[in-house]
Structure 1
Amino acid sequence: MSDGLATALAGGDRELLLGTIRDVPDYPKPGVTFKDITPLLADPRAFSLLTDALAAAVSRHGATAVAGLEARGFILAAPAAVRAGVGFVPVRKSGKLPGETVTEEYELEYGTAEIELHVDAVGPGDRVLVIDDVLATGGTADASVRLIRRTGAEVVGVSVLLELGFLGGRDRLTATLDGVPLEALITI
């Protein structure tokens, strides 16, 4: 386990970020507590701190591109890519990208879903850092890593704002990542 992202936070920065993440009980269904990052995004200090930490991860891993996972991963990955001086690549739900795409299916608790990437978004020689907001069960992150690798690009890491450790997403990703660092700013 790499903790480079978490060690990027100084002093009370972790508490600042955690304090701007709102719990929404029983959303999207009863028994689930949704982690809402919109208050963090509305706080310029917290959002800038998060962007700096993610941009530092881009540089630390030598990434040449950042892949953001739909939809909240877009909001975090795009400014990190800009701040680090690399390109942003959206990984979207199936049917959302125009042009030729490559698709990867993954399992949900209640069925399957697909994500896609433009076939020419990344390829051999590209070093991609995957960014998302929350790592829960790991299904989307797992599928995105497999999808990016199918283009011939190298995945150099997965970075998330918040890891819900009790859901086991890290364990699910271990085999897929095969030594590639998985970093979370905050783990609960």
Structure 2
Amino acid sequence: MAFDEFLLKAHIPIIQDWPVPGIKFRDITPLFRNPQTARQITDALVLRYMNSGITHIGALEARGFLLGSNLAYALNLPLLLIRKAGKLPGKVDRIDYQYEYSQGQLEIQQGSISRGDNVLLIDDLLATGQTLLAAAQLIHRQGGDVQEAATIIDLSNLGGRERLVEANIPVYSLLAFDD
């Protein structure tokens, strides 16, 4: 099945003023209700990473879990859950960060990766890049390397790609919007 950018974009509506006034939210849930678009996304990412040297998939809560679990299964790699604070049992590494319209905390269980592991960070959308930067810091604290950050959507006007590249994190997105 060929990758169809127009089909994917047609399945991403804008929700005005959500989750807070002034935000134009790109909703990816219709992509996963349609088996054809869901398969195109997964297949495109699997083809990109199947011989890349990645040793782990680091999925960001919550929509990154949709992509991460598919990739981990297809590539036969361990899945790391990078979650909001208070969601993981046991000892965790935690980081505070600021993002588009709020602040947050991310956590990863201690001992999830080892020095030299190569992690692909995966999330649904790249906006300002702060969440992916925070996740990369958690990976680095445990001795891992971030090979790349991958998303379905890059909101290119918000500067996230530039922030990640400045931090030496390559970025790959299937689609870009400049609004």
Coarse TM-score class (shorter-chain normalised): over 0.9
Q: Looking at both structures, which has the greater relative contact order when contacts are Cα pairs under 8 Å and sequence separation is at least 6?
A: 1
Point out where structure 2 has 5 or more consecutive residues left out of the alignment. none
TM norm structure 1: 0.88
* SS of corresponding position for 1:132: strand
Give the count of matched residue pairs.
177
For residue 146 of structure 2, what is the aligned residue in structure 1?
155
- Matched ranges for 1:3-152 at <5 A: 10=2, 13-109=4-100, 112-152=103-143
TM-score, normalised with respect to structure 2: 0.92
Please identify runs of 4+ aligned residues in structure 1 that moved more than 6 A: none
Which digits, 9 at most, give the CA deviation of each residue in 1:66-87, with x for residues without a partner?
0110100111111011111111
Aligned-residue identity in percent: 38
Alpha-carbon displacement from aligned partner over 1:107-140 (angstroms, at most 9, x marks no partner): 2355532101011211213211000000011110
Q: Equivalents in 2 of 1:152, 1:61: separation in Å?
A: 19
Please report the RMSD computed on the Cα atoms of aligned residues, expressed in angstroms: 1.6
Q: SS of 2:50's equivalent?
A: helix
User: What corresponds to 1:187 in structure 2?
Assistant: 176
Which residue of 2 is the match for residue 4 of structure 1? Answer: none
1:50-81 deviations in whole A, cap 9, x for unaligned? 01112223324311110110100111111011
**Following the alignment from structure 1 to structure 2, what is the Cα–Cα distance between the partners of residues 103 and 60?**
31
Q: Does the 8 Å CA contact 1:163/1:186 hold for their aligned counterparts?
A: yes
